[in-house]
Every structure is written in structure tokens, then in C-alpha cells.
Chain A
């Protein structure tokens, strides 16, 4: 149990385009999901907290207009990187909260912006 999926696993796009990443909790409902960014050989950096039915809460320094988050249902949150640029290239990981304070992570999405 507690499986979280992400789609796509890999995406390559041209600079200036937008990319949508989906995060799904497959066997449980999650009112709260998180989005992280991870640079090579570094820890996870929390970008935002996604709450079902309400606006996402962004961490300091994260541009909310750049990284649009939508939590439309109890099993789906999406992260859209708008007008992507090469510096947005990174590994994006989502997580979903199942039990109290326990996050289950997706497999990650590697974004490369050319």
C-alpha cells in the first residue's frame, strides 16, 4: 500500500514552453501533497504544499506564477512549470501524506529544458 506515481518520468522540452507533471496517490486519498526539487547530489528542497480544494502554499523564494500547483482531487496534484528555462532543469519529486505526518514519495520526474 501507499503507492505514489508520477507522470512523466522524463521530459525534455524547449525553452519557453510549459510542462505539466502529475502526481497520483494510487491506493489512498491524500488531502496534502508536497512538491520537491532535487539538484544532483543534494537533498530535497521543498517547493510547495498542495492541499486538496485550496491554494497551494509556496516556500520562500519559490515563484508561484512559475510553478503552478493544482490539487484537483484527493488523489491527484499537478505541477506546471510555466515558460520553462534551462535553469528549471531538475529532478522533481512529489509526496503524498497518508498516515499522520508520514509522506510517501513518487518516483520523480526528470525535466530537461533545452
Chain B
């Protein structure tokens, strides 16, 4: 069975600061891992995905995530936060199916 844990339901950073959103997964088979972003009253937008190629995955809007098997982690980072990054971020896992298991989400606030 697969599961995802997102540590921290809320993260606040200053504009220009490093963004770090944590995600740990559990999977009985090699996982596919995803980060999605959701802006208010909108659907989810794919930021990036890991599909067993390079462990460091670069996504859109300057985000990247590193797959660490030993730590069962897939944390999302961005070197410098922008006001427009304020949103809800979801980590998700799938394994050999198209079905996604989502984490509970992390709300990112960016202060000027």
C-alpha cells in the first residue's frame, strides 16, 4: 500500500527566502511521486514528477524536488520565494496504477 505524509500543514516564508515543503512516502513498490499546486478555487497544476529517472527533478516556476530512497522523502524546494508562490501544495504517490494517493497538503504563505 502507498501513503504520503506532508509535514507541516502551514509554512510561512519571507519573499526571497528558501522554500522547503516536506513529503515522505511509503510504497511497497518503486513509486512515482508528484507535487501539485492549487491556487484558491482552482484545480491542481502539476509542478513536477519523479518517475525513476534522475533523482533531482526540476519543475515549473523554479521548483525542484529530490527523491531520496534511503529517507523515503521527496521534499519540494525553491531557492527564492515569490509572492505568487502562495498556494496549497500537495504531494502524491502512485505505484503501478494511475491512481494517486495525496497528502493532506501544505499551505504556503509568503510575506513581503
Chain A residues with CB under 8 Å of chain B are 2, 4, 6, 32, 34, 42-44, 46, 49, 91, 93, 95, 97, 100-108, 110
Which residues of B line the A interface, CB within 8 A? 32, 34, 36, 41-46, 49, 51, 90, 94, 97-100, 102-105
Q: Which residue of B lies closest to A108 (CB)?
A: B43
Known contacts: A43-B90, A44-B90. The answer to whether A34 contacts B43 by CB under 8 A is no
Q: Are A108 and B41 in contact (CB under 8 A)?
A: yes
Contacts of A4 in B (CB 8 A): 43
Closest to A110 in B: B41
Chain B residues lying within 8 Å of A42, measured Cβ to Cβ, are 104-105
Contacts of B100 in A (CB 8 A): 34, 46, 103
Nearest-neighbour CB distance to chain B for A113, whole angstroms, equals: 18
Query: Which residues does chain B contribute within 8 Å of A95, judged by CB atoms?
Result: 43-44
